[in-house]
Structure 1
Amino acid sequence: MFRRREPVPFAFVAEADRFRSNVTPPPRESLGRTQMDARTLVALTVVAGLAGSLLFGIPALQPNQAPEKSQRSAASEGR
């Protein structure tokens, strides 16, 4: 760490840069089988939702093209 060049009015402010806590955080709990399965299911659901939105969204964004043959309903052909 670098030393301050200007004087600091309070000693604890100057020492705050190099202060280390002697309290260690608790160790992380390992994930259980159920939690891993739940996280995997959530991830798969999100990925499937994104893939589905692409599957249905991309054709909707394509410009409309006029059909080559005009389609008539059966009711209009009988006239």
Structure 2
Amino acid sequence: MFRRRREPVPFAFVAEADRYRSNVAPPPRERASRAQLAGRSLLGLTVVAGLVGSLLLGLPALEQNTSGARTVHQSEAANGH
């Protein structure tokens, strides 16, 4: 009935792409200098210190008043001064 044709596919290299290995190696990565390492660590410490500082300064604003008693603030004008 139907005959399969065994013709070569024009892009047969796509099927072999997983087996392809290049003989060109990428150049080795340069090692970071001491100044670059120090700069990266200083930047990281600055970011962490900023986050910790903002957390410490923001915690009092996030606390809920659990005393239940309301304090009434009167202005000096209301006192007649």
Give the TM-score category using the shorter length. 0.5 to 0.7
Question: Which is greater in Rg?
Answer: 2
Task: Return the TM-score normalized by structure 1.
Answer: 0.67
**CA deviation map 1:10-61 (0-9, x unaligned):** 3111111111111111111111111011001101101101100110111111
Q: Which structure 2 residue ranges, 5 or more long, are not aligned?
A: 1-7
Q: Distance in 1 between matches of 2:61 and 2:22?
A: 58
Q: Which structure 1 residue ranges, 5 or more long, are not aligned?
A: 1-7
* Number of residue pairs the alignment of both structures matches: 71
Q: Runs (4+) of structure 1 moved beyond 3 Å?
A: none
Higher relative contact order (CA 8 A, sep 6+): 1
Task: Return the TM-score normalized by structure 2.
Answer: 0.65
- Identity of counterpart residues, as a percentage? 57
Aligned CA RMSD, in angstroms, stands at 3.0
